[in-house]
A and B are shown apart, each in its own frame.
Chain A
Amino acid sequence: MVKLKPIFLNIFLFLIVVSAHDILPDTANYILWRALASVGIDVAMTPLTADMPLMMDSSEPTSFYQRKISIIGTAKDSEMPFVWDSLGFYEIRLPILLFTEYAANDAGSLGFTNAICFQLKKLKPELISFRIDLKPPRETDLQLGLNRNWICKNEY
Chain B
Amino acid sequence: MNTKLFRYFLAIHQIWLLSFLLRDSWSWFGKNQMVTLRTPDFPTVFDFFNQSPLIIQVFLGVTIVIWGLFVLDKLNRWGQVLLFFLSVSIHNANPYIIHEPQQMVNLLLMIQIFFLPSSAKQPVDKNILQILSVFLGVYYLLAGLKKLPDALWLHGQALEMLMLWPPFFKDNLFTLFLKNNSYLLVFTNYLVLIFELLFLPLLFSRFKHWLFLLGLLFHLGISVSMEVGTFSWIMLCWYMLVFPVEDYIRTFAYIVKSLGRYASK
Contacts and interface: CB of A to CB of B under 8 A. Distances in A.
Interface in A78-106: 84, 89-91, 93-98
Contact of A69 (B38, B95, B152, B166): B166
A40 B128 CA distance: 22
Nearest to A91: B27
A48 B166 CA distance: 14
B164 A17 contact: no
A122 B33 CA distance: 14
A111 to B, nearest CB: 5
Q: Report, as a range, how many residues of chain B touch the other chain.
A: 35 or more
Interface of A: 3, 5-6, 8-10, 13, 16-17, 20-21, 37-50, 52-53, 56, 58, 64-66, 68-69, 84, 89-91, 93-98, 111-112, 114-115, 118-119, 122, 155-156
Contacts of A69: 165-167
Interface of B: 20, 27-28, 30, 32-33, 36-39, 42-43, 87-88, 91-92, 95-96, 98-100, 102-104, 106-107, 110-111, 114-115, 125, 127-128, 131-132, 135, 138-139, 142-143, 146-147, 149-153, 158, 161-162, 164-168, 227-229, 231
A49 B38 contact: no
10 contacts: A13-B135, A37-B42, A52-B152, A53-B149, A66-B165, A91-B96, A94-B227, A98-B99, A114-B37, A155-B32
B88 A39 contact: yes
A11 to B, nearest CB: 10
B37 A94 contact: no
Contacts of A91: 27-28, 96
A44 B168 CA distance: 19
A65 B107 contact: no
A2 to B, nearest CB: 11
B11 to A, nearest CB: 17
A89 B227 contact: yes
A21 B102 contact: no
Nearest to B139: A45
Contacts of B166: 68-69, 84
A97 B92 contact: no
Given A5-B115, A41-B110, A65-B161, 8 more contacts: A17-B138, A40-B91, A47-B146, A49-B158, A94-B227, A111-B95, A111-B98, A114-B37
